Amino acid sequence: CVFNYPVMDWRPVQGVPPSALRQVLPGKAVLENGRIDFLWTSKQWKKTQSNIIGSGIFISPKGVLEHSGSVGLALIVWVLGGGVSALGSLCYAELGVTIPKSGGDYSYVTEIFGGLTGFLLLWSAVLIMYPTTLAVIALTFSNYVLQPAFPYCAPSYVATRILSTACILLLTWVNCSSVRWATRIQDVFTVGKLLALGLIIVVGLVQLCKGHYEALHPQAAFEFLRPVSVGQVALAFLQASFAFSGWNFLNYVTEEVVEPRRNVPLAIYISIPLVTLVYTLTNIAYFSSMTPEELLASNAVAVTFGEKLLGMFSSIMPISVALSTFGGINGYLFTSSRLCFSGAREGHLPSLLAMIHLKHCTPIPALMLCCTATIVILCIGETHNLINYVSFINYLSYGVTIGGLLYYRWKKPSLYRPIKVNLMVPISYLLFWAFLLGFSLYSEPVVCGVGLVIMLTGVPVYFLGVSWKDKPKCIYDFIASITYMGQKLCFVVFPQIDPLEQANPPQS
């Protein structure tokens, strides 16, 4: 995957050399045609792959069961959710090698449909998708940490918000201080995620071997707790999709894979079914020891599971989930700030967001924007409504991007595509996408409608801020003064080339 950083001659005395910039995105720096290209290794990209098995599996089971209405239908939703993710991953794999640009969906949509569509996707990602996802994971972290202190009721609203905010602020400070610290936190706290899931699955299988599978009998499994509509099933898919979010990160590794035409689809065929199996087994484990009513009544499903089966070792579960969610927050902060960074370099966001700290080489303005948006959303939403909110916008962006694949096939049929999926793959995904979004909008018009309204507010912002080039001088002066104040406050500059390193490039 290639990250292109334009060489900007702005305040030359404050330039940052490539040797320092390598700390931002560690990889091999190549200077060519006035741009610094960072070629990431497969090992470095594997660190982002851990996001696909994330904290969503500790959040979504309650929402999936609540909307699907029965244990059997909930398990079907989990399996089909994995299948849909596999279709999307294959489409993104083709886009990843056909349009090798940083920024993922944003870069593909901008390349295919133009600046306005790309800006709207970026706008919704910066204001909705990433901050809302961060808010949900932070609330899950606080719920699991506080649940042992509130054994007979849900943790208080104020306590969860204070702890979530403290967690976001701490990890923002870590990401601002050092990229190395942030990546090491991601590596270490991934262990908590794997420990929690492995423990749940093993204990659940032991329960099944003992004959505790009453809720999984076909008659009991498809006994509906309440009447279920097609719209409610669509909302169940939205809840499950939150746990699968991260599948679109798979395409980023395609440029570094040997024989991508063979190995990338093979990786998808292995990884997505494996994740689906883990999620399905985790839910089966829950139902081996909890009735549907108990699961719906729990605010921290894994904690309730641990209290029923682990006895004196039940404290392992909230600690493991807390570690998992803590690492998940760190990972999303890292990637969301880089999306702001990418959008600012393209001129779609204020230039201040494309600057990095002079010493630490971290995108502090972008991190502060993500932190602020997340804290605002923390104060105005409830976890499961936020999941519907972010999943709807996520699926909307996925559908537009995969629709762009079909349009690009028609627009540039002779373009070389190392990976070229069968047309039925994107068509099948888009049919499911239309069903999901249509019925979700019908079932939750307020939640989904607010997301659409926020996305559409980007239209006047684009024409005023990006498309309108001949602004009055006073506006440019005001923007320049704000940018300069931001630079002084955050001690940030544009990344540039060091003339000495350009004259004496390092020997490889």
Residues 375, 379, 382: CA angle, nearest 5 degrees: 115
**Range among 256-270, 369-383, 417-431 rated most confident:** 417-431
Identify whether 63 is part of a domain: yes
CATH of the domain at 321: 1.20.1740.10
The backbone region for 102, taken as left when phi is positive above 0, alpha when psi lies in -120 to 50, beta otherwise, is beta
99 vs 35, higher pLDDT = 99
- Region of poorest pLDDT, from 200-214, 321-335, 355-369: 321-335
Tens-digit pLDDT profile for residues 226-237: 788 888 898 899
pLDDT at 375: 92
**Range among 43-47, 239-243, 314-318 rated most confident:** 239-243
Identify whether 506 is part of a domain: no
Identify whether 247 is part of a domain: yes
Identify whether 51 is part of a domain: no
pLDDT at 410: 93
The DSSP-derived string for 105-162 is: HHHHHHHHH-HHHHHHHHHHIIIIIHHHHHHHHHHHHHHHHHGGG-TTSPPPHHHHHH
63 vs 38, higher pLDDT = 63
- Region of poorest pLDDT, from 284-293, 318-327, 498-507: 498-507
Distance between CA atoms of 417 and 431, rounded to whole angstroms?
Answer: 24
Distance between CA atoms of 167 and 182, rounded to whole angstroms?
Answer: 14
Which residues are within 8 A (CB) of 270 and not within 5 positions of it... i.e. 6 or more apart? none
- pLDDT over 60 at 36, yes or no: no
- pLDDT over 90 at 80, yes or no: yes
- Residue among 159, 130, 337 nearest 345 (CA): 337
- pLDDT over 50 at 11, yes or no: no
Tens-digit pLDDT profile for residues 400-426: 999 999 999 999 998 888 888 899 999
Q: Please report, for residues 4, 131, 163, 442, 450, the alpha-carbon distance to residue 142 in angstroms, rounded to integers and kept in the order given.
A: 38, 16, 6, 32, 26
What is the CB-side half-sphere exposure of residue 12 using CA atoms within 13 A? 3
- pLDDT over 50 at 41, yes or no: no
Q: What interhelical angle do 60-68 and 71-98 show, nearest 10?
A: 120
Q: Which two tokens stand for residue 112?
A: 């295919």
- Using DSSP's 3-state secondary structure scheme, residue 2 falls into strand
pLDDT at 500: 41
pLDDT at 459: 92
Identify whether 13 is part of a domain: no
pLDDT at 221: 85
- pLDDT over 70 at 107, yes or no: yes
Distance between CA atoms of 133 and 340, rounded to whole angstroms?
Answer: 15
Q: Are 428 and 483 in contact (CB under 8 A)?
A: no
pLDDT at 407: 94
- pLDDT over 50 at 94, yes or no: yes
Which domain, by its residues, includes 72?
Answer: 57-353+363-491
Identify whether 252 is part of a domain: yes
53 confidence band (pLDDT: 50, 70, 90):
low
- pLDDT over 80 at 104, yes or no: no
Tens-digit pLDDT profile for residues 120-159: 988 888 888 888 888 988 988 898 888 777 877 778 888 8
- Report how many domains make up the chain: 1
Tens-digit pLDDT profile for residues 250-265: 555 555 566 767 777 7
- Percent of the chain whose pLDDT exceeds 70: 84
- Residue among 46, 136, 21, 48 nearest 339 (CA): 48
Identify whether 316 is part of a domain: yes
pLDDT at 163: 93
Which helix (H) or strand (E) segment holds residue 493: the answer is strand 492-493
- Using DSSP's 3-state secondary structure scheme, residue 357 falls into strand
pLDDT at 258: 67
Residues 133, 426, 64: CA angle, nearest 5 degrees: 40
Distance between CA atoms of 387 and 282, rounded to whole angstroms?
Answer: 20
- Using DSSP's 3-state secondary structure scheme, residue 22 falls into coil
For residues 17-44, average pLDDT:
36
The backbone region for 402, taken as left when phi is positive above 0, alpha when psi lies in -120 to 50, beta otherwise, is alpha
For residues 260-275, average pLDDT:
80
Q: Tell me the one-letter amino acid at 54.
A: G
- Percent of the chain whose pLDDT exceeds 90: 17
For residues 90-106, average pLDDT:
81
Identify whether 64 is part of a domain: yes
223 vs 334, higher pLDDT = 223
Q: What is the mean pLDDT of the chain?
A: 79
For residues 245-249, average pLDDT:
75
The DSSP-derived string for 243-310 is: HHTTGGGGGGGGGGSSSHHHHHHHHHHHHHHHHHHHHHHHHHHHHHHS-HHHHHH-SSHHHHHHHHHT
- Region of poorest pLDDT, from 81-95, 249-263, 320-334, 431-445: 249-263
